[in-house]
Amino acid sequence: MAVEILKEKYRGQVREVVLGAAKDKGGTRSHTVKIGGETTLPFLHFEGNIPNRPVVAMEVWDIVPEGWPESLKSNFEDVYDDPAAWAKKCVEEYGADLIAVRFMSADPDGQDASPDDCIPTLKKVLEAVGVPLIIYGCGKSEKDNLLIGPLGEAGAGENLLLGVAEQDNFKPVASAAMANGHTVIAQSPIDINIAKQLNVLISELSTPLLDRIVIDPTVAALGYGIEYSYSIMERARFGALQGDRMLAMPFIANIGGEVWSKREAFVPHEEEATWGEQPERSMMWEATTAMALLQAGADLLVMRHPRAVELTKQNIDELMKDNSY
């Protein structure tokens, strides 16, 4: 007897978001990257369309990173002091689909670099690679609010993905995106209601921005509450597929920063004998976190270790194979 495959029919669709702009749209990227557009849950090709494969961005800092373990650091040793060369290496050697530049030099407790200090770095990275860019500040919102406007202006027309808009601080990023044709990362603290409300607030500022939002639901690393991230992402995606326009945006998952700040990434073998060797274990921690979040619906992963990126991209290849019947 033939088995009847049950298929769910959804009336909604995740919005398709374009990252980067090539010459025809006023940018200088060699190509653009599309994410989102799903009409079903992750990788259920038999049920709906997954028109765009998930992509991986690699992180580049504008200062030599402090506190990265040697096993991670050694992959970039020759390019650390040159963000443009670092970005180029990530794209050409390690296959990064996008580059996420973190302007850590702006940290007021560190170098306290000014927007004018940061702009040349942005321009150099734009010249060095053709892939679309993600732009993050130093993570301290008071300073980042001053930084994002000038950086957005310096990259006008490039359709940068600008981080991060938050519920009580969304205007600087949203305004920079509106003014210069960029896209917004809307970040919420593992809270679906805030994720939705933030999109409502951004759309009240500018309705067309609704098609230029990527949701950062705040992901946790494996072992640090990843199941909460998973639940939030799954519920938001169900909402999107059932027609909730205010949650129908693709997801960005900030994996590298979460994983590489956790004990499992650092602690040497001698201290935790049952955990396995630190270099392999930490890399696998990042790859496994990424693979779990792909299943939750992540469309854009921000990662650090080249081997973890490679494994994740292999996993994406497998998951994107047609399973319709």
Partner 1 sequence: MIIIGERINGMFRDIAKAIREKDPAPVQEWARKQEEMGAGYLDINVGPAVSDRVDAMRWLVEVTQEASKLPLCLDSTDYDAIEAGLEVCKRPAMINSVPAIQEKMDRVFTLAGKYDAEVIGLAMSEEGIPKDSDSRIALAMELVANCDAYGVPVQNLYIDPLVLPCNVGQDHGPEVFETLRQVKLMADPPPKTTVGLSNISQGTKNRELINRTFAVMAMACGLDSAIADACDEELIAAVATARIILNMDIYCDGYVDVFKNQNK
What is the binding site for partner 1 (CB under 8 A)?
192-194, 196-197, 200-201, 207, 235-236, 239, 244-247
Nearer to partner 1 (CB atom), residue 129 or residue 247: 247
Q: Which two tokens stand for residue 22?
A: 């090539």
Nearer to partner 1 (CB atom), residue 42 or residue 239: 239
Measured CA to CA, the distance from residue 309 to residue 321 in angstroms comes to 19
Quote the least distance from Cβ 203 to partner 1, whole Å. Answer: 9
Rounded to the nearest 10°, the torsion over CA 227, 59, 135, 17 is -60
Quote the least distance from Cβ 297 to partner 1, whole Å. Answer: 15
Quote the least distance from Cβ 13 to partner 1, whole Å. Answer: 15
Quote the least distance from Cβ 219 to partner 1, whole Å. Answer: 19
Nearer to partner 1 (CB atom), residue 180 or residue 218: 218
Quote the least distance from Cβ 293 to partner 1, whole Å. Answer: 20
3-state secondary structure of 276: coil
Contact 194, 225 (CB under 8 A): no
Nearer to partner 1 (CB atom), residue 117 or residue 234: 234
Measured CA to CA, the distance from residue 54 to residue 317 in angstroms comes to 10
- Which residue in this structure is represented by tokens 């938001």? 236
Task: Write out the H or E segment, with its range, that includes residue 134.
Answer: strand 133-136
- Strands 133-136 and 251-254, how do they pair? unpaired
Nearer to partner 1 (CB atom), residue 5 or residue 273: 5
Strand partners, 133: 99
